[in-house]
Amino acid sequence: MKYFSVPADFKTETIDRYEILNNTYDDSRVIESYGNITVRNGFESGRSVEQLPEVDWYELENYIAYSKQKNIDFNYTINSSYMQNKEFTENGILKIKTFLKRLYEIGVDSLTVALPSLIELIKSTNYNFKIKASVICQITNANKAMSFKKMGAARMVVDESMNRNFKVLERIKNVFGDYVEIIVNPICFKDCIYRMFHYNQISGDSIEVSSQASIEYYPHRCVLKRYENTGNLLKLNWVRPEDINYYSNIGICHFKLQGRHTVLKGDPVRAVECYAKESYDGDLMELLDLFDPTTSFRVSIDNKKLDGFIKPYYENENFCKNDCSGCNYCESFAQKCIDHEKANEVIQLAVQFYNDYDRFKEMIAAINPAKVDNLSEEKMDIGFDL
């Protein structure tokens, strides 16, 4: 059996489509959608507010009630890596507990959480929320999984970087139990140095965006990193619908689709159906973006030509050593499934665009030595006298 957790667009029509999927596929079930309010929201999550559907309390309550009628749960995301330390002040705790009470009263019974301090706080209440440890917890091994389990997490999402390390996944499953979930459509670079810092930036921008430079910096650096060579696209930790059986074989049956930022223009239902069918004939990158047509500079990968790509990872525990300087596996496989002429055209345009429109670099350059010298004439609190 395959269980899916999907990003909410907060539309009842979409819940109706998930219900049809649930009635069509005997071995697949959409068990929940997830998301958070964006109107009058005081609590951080794992997505920038500007990327999310506009949802207030009233709409959320109605959506949850409708979903439950269709036997689909809702999981509320309160999974930032930083909450301005609200949880360490009495006033902050009061606000968090009041917020949790409201969530409980409108029908929320499960939460996705990242901060251990917030998990402890939630467990101290009487609301009996089921807690899912977020991917932001960066659970990369059995010991970390066990720690979150002891803390009270009933479900957990594995760090995406482990998606192709089947022995690690198996060990995590063995200690944590059945409720281990993996994200099937990550678009993050495998060994990305930006990951933790991107999570923190998102936390800061999840209620109110600080600047355009902030919301562009990590996604644009991510594209530039990916496009250093086409083989990098095969190192994004995605799971093809055809390869789901490798995960079922080791007892993993919970799968999450990320992409809350794509739900309004994309088609998450179509994406889930590909995973339910375990087959998809088309461009893998479109599937990973949940068929959002607005994604720019997309390089196509012929999904069917990736047959067999994941097999050596499954068969050999140490197949990927995370040292591409001595291994050409992904790059040579990319030759078979990517049209390199077309890909290079897209890559050149993307690199030029992101280098030409780099607001962070522009802002750094704008604060020139003359401005720094003139600071003494301005009143700025920088912690020392000028």
Three-state SS at 251: coil
Q: Report the sign of the C-alpha dihedral through residues 357, 358, 363, 365, in that order.
A: negative
Q: How far apart are CA 10 and CA 140, in angstroms?
A: 31
Q: Which of these segments, 133-141, 256-264, 297-305, 319-327, binds ligand SF4 (CB under 6 A)?
A: 319-327
Q: How far apart are CA 107 and CA 87, in angstroms?
A: 23
Closer Cβ to ligand SF4, 47 or 235, answer by number: 235
How many residues bind ligand SF4 (CB under 6 A)? The answer is 10
Q: Counting contacts by CB under 6 A, is residue 29 touching ligand SF4? A: no
Q: Which of these segments, 24-32, 202-210, 278-286, 321-329, binds ligand SF4 (CB under 6 A)?
A: 321-329
Residue count of the chain:
386
Options 193, 327, 367, 375; binder of ligand SF4; rule CB under 6 A: 327
Give the rounded distance of the alpha carbon of 269 from its chain centre: 17
Phi, psi for 116 (deg, rounded to 5): -55, -35
Q: Which of these segments, 136-144, 147-155, 269-277, 324-332, binds ligand SF4 (CB under 6 A)?
A: 324-332
Name the minimum Å distance from CB 235 to ligand SF4.
Answer: 5
Each residue of 145-182: b (16+ CB within 10 Å) or e? beebbeeebebbbbbbbbbbbbebbbbbbeebeebbbb
Options 26, 321, 341, 368; binder of ligand SF4; rule CB under 6 A: 321
Q: Counting contacts by CB under 6 A, is residue 330 touching ligand SF4? A: yes
Give the rounded distance of the alpha carbon of 302 from its chain centre: 23
User: Which residues in 246-265 contact ligand SF4 (CB under 6 A)?
Assistant: none
Q: Counting contacts by CB under 6 A, is residue 314 touching ligand SF4? A: no
Q: Counting contacts by CB under 6 A, is residue 150 touching ligand SF4? A: no
Q: How far apart are CA 355 and CA 157, in angstroms?
A: 34
Q: Which of these segments, 125-133, 135-143, 314-322, 340-348, binds ligand SF4 (CB under 6 A)?
A: 314-322
Each residue of 251-275: b (16+ CB within 10 Å) or e? ebbbbbbbbbbbbeebbbbebbbbb
Closer Cβ to ligand SF4, 323 or 385, answer by number: 323
Closer Cβ to ligand SF4, 150 or 321, answer by number: 321
Site string for ligand SF4, 203-242 (x = CB under 6 A): --------------------------------x-------
Name the minimum Å distance from CB 320 to ligand SF4.
Answer: 3
Name the minimum Å distance from CB 325 to ligand SF4.
Answer: 8
Q: Does residue 386 contact residue 375 with C-beta atoms inside 8 Å?
A: yes
Question: How is residue 276 written in tokens?
Answer: 């339910």
Q: Counting contacts by CB under 6 A, is residue 323 touching ligand SF4? A: yes
Closer Cβ to ligand SF4, 153 or 330, answer by number: 330
Q: Does residue 172 contact residue 142 with C-beta atoms inside 8 Å?
A: yes
| DSSP, residue by residue, 102-130 | HHHHTT--EEEE--HHHHHHHHTSSS--E
Q: Counting contacts by CB under 6 A, is residue 271 touching ligand SF4? A: no
Closer Cβ to ligand SF4, 31 or 324, answer by number: 324
Q: Counting contacts by CB under 6 A, is residue 320 touching ligand SF4? A: yes
Q: Does residue 269 contact residue 22 with C-beta atoms inside 8 Å?
A: no
Residues 6+ apart with CB under 8 A from 317: 165, 166, 167
Indicate the DSSP class of residue 120: H
Closer Cβ to ligand SF4, 84 or 322, answer by number: 322
Binding site for ligand SF4 (CB under 6 A): 190, 235, 320-324, 327, 329-330
